[in-house]
A and B are shown apart, each in its own frame.
Chain A
Amino acid sequence: MTRKFLHVENFGANIPYYLLPFRFHRINETKEVIVNEVDDFLVVPVGTAAQIIERKINRREDATLYGDLLANFFISEQPIPELIDVLATRYRTKKSFLDHFTSLHIFVISLRCEHTCHYCQVSRVTADKDKFDMGREHINAGIEMMMRSPNPHVTMEFQGGEALLAFDNIVYAVERTKQEAVLRNKKVNYVICTNLAPLTEEILAYCKENAILISTSLDGPEFIHNKNRHKPHSNSYQLAVDGVMKCRQELGEENVSALLTTTNLSLQHPEEIVDEYVNRGFRNIFLRPISPYGFATKNAGKNKYQTTAFLEFYKKALNTIISYNLNGYYIREDYASIILKKMLTPFPVGYVDLQSPAGIINSVIVFNYDGKIYASDEARMLAEMNDFTFLLGDLSVNTYEEIFYGEKSMELAEVFTNESLPGCSDCAFQSYCGADPVFNYTTQGDTWGHRPTSSFCQRNMEIMRHLIELMDSDKKIEKVFRSWITGKTDAIKN
């Protein structure tokens, strides 16, 4: 076999190159990040983007950078790159979360709750008011709508109030869904969101039998959790911790997860919160900022904290988590993991708050206890404050088409891609970030939002910048981050 080399002119220094779509952002005094159309990024010295654009990168003198830019689709030597089909496939993969449409169907099975948490995102009501449970006709209609989703794989999530107070409703809904799923050839995952206080052996056995996942809340050590989650005459923390242990024993560790709700009090204790999760044997922690909905906005004194304070808390907690990993205890921070998966793999992440087109309707829909249908959980919380902007319809009145392709959904479609939002359209982090019209509306009064004053933008931009800076500063941290995506713990030991 003969081997031929390309003609000598292919190796010249001054071949003009063409730009491919990319965006850039300064990450510190000395470095900037460039991100291409399919999410690949390179960290380069400040000024490199300008040099690329001004065609000052020389094929021979800057051979390594030139090669990186070419291989990573930042530049091309042909007006239309030969691998355009690869780029198109990568782009399609990035947006593949759209292929099957709505997956998460939230059923607010009861609004009743026995806790009196100060930041509660929905109006609390006493535990004995049956009128706050979801009616059977509404459950039936919700299941029917869920079965109409083109997605072959849907999630049915039961929320409250305290969902377990209406366990009979849950059993009814699961049994009915099981039958329908067989008929419609659908795979259904079940999740119950609960504070675990009403947990019984009977409930656990049913969850085990039906592979129902449990999602609960743990806000940190006892003094934080109990301050946040007030339950008259009992210890909410102890109930949650005991409940987690029981669920793990019965259902297996992987079927129980805990969410953290951050409050003013938590902001002062990042390390203690992480320690608590480690001490309780968790392998993941989700550092969520408090949402601006429901009672949370009314209780300004307790809950209105600056995004800057949250970011400071987040970075300290993340630092502690990274240290645990470097010392051999695997624990993942979920918010960072979602972003990192977008940064380091070609795949999308099904996380509704960081999607473009947005998660509302495309990925999630909420059926409220009273039959009303909302675009997201946050939209439902807004309605609890008597603002029905994101009310899409009613289970007993509207058809699937009217809800998902109706006027309101079309209106929202105008503002749910960050590719076309002011500020976001030029942002280097566009493809890692998302559009959240409900958040924009709640915090800024309009669905388009104003990026320079948006806490969503401020938070995400800084977290993304920070993650890239961390990876660039220390390869060991990058290894830890990669292990969060792959779940392979041995990566951090090498």
Chain B
Amino acid sequence: MRTSLTMAIDSRIYSEQVLYKCFYWFSQDYTVDISIGEGSFYNVLIQPNKENTVVDWDTLAEKVKQQLIDFKLRDIVSNETKTIRELIVAKAFACYDIDTTPQTNVSDPVGFIPAII
């Protein structure tokens, strides 16, 4: 009976951070060892926590792939929006009075901008 799954994951596609965030959620049922492999690859060894557990390895591999993609997507959002997020929080807790009428045309459905009349 197969007792473990080894995956080689390309670090050029998935960062170490993405790997750890992803495999964190597998730690309920599995022990996961992440090590540096050959070239640009990480080796990931996955073993069930409980001995003699019957694992559907194909399904598990699929799930890992799906989760890796999801965590990579989360990583992209998180990196791209880091500054704006900090700005929102900083503005939210800064001691200043917010303009009661923000200067904007976004809620202006017919393109009516008083400033350009």
Contacts and interface: CB of A to CB of B under 8 A. Distances in A.
B21 A426 contact: yes
A69 to B, nearest CB: 13
A18 B36 CA distance: 35
Contacts of B113: 4, 6
A50 B106 contact: no
Interface stretch (B38-46, B53-61, B69-77): B69-77
Contact of B91 (A19, A88, A451): A88
Nearest to A77: B106
Interface in B17-52: 21, 24-28
B77 A22 contact: yes
B117 interface: yes
A369 B6 CA distance: 57
Given A4-B117, A6-B111, A21-B77, A89 B85 contact: no
B1 interface: no
A37 B92 CA distance: 12
Interface string A53-74: 1000000000000000000000
22 contacts: A1-B117, A3-B110, A3-B112, A4-B112, A4-B113, A6-B105, A19-B76, A20-B84, A21-B84, A50-B73, A80-B84, A82-B104, A85-B102, A86-B102, A88-B88, A88-B92, A89-B92, A91-B89, A423-B24, A426-B71, A453-B27, A453-B28
Interface residues of A, number: 39
Interface string A389-411: 00000000000000000000000
A462 to B, nearest CB: 14
A5 B84 contact: no
A378 to B, nearest CB: 24
A86 B102 CA distance: 8
A296 to B, nearest CB: 23
Nearest to A79: B84
B99 interface: yes
A422 interface: yes
B78 interface: yes
A84 interface: yes
A23 B93 contact: no
B80 interface: yes
A451 B28 CA distance: 9
A87 interface: yes
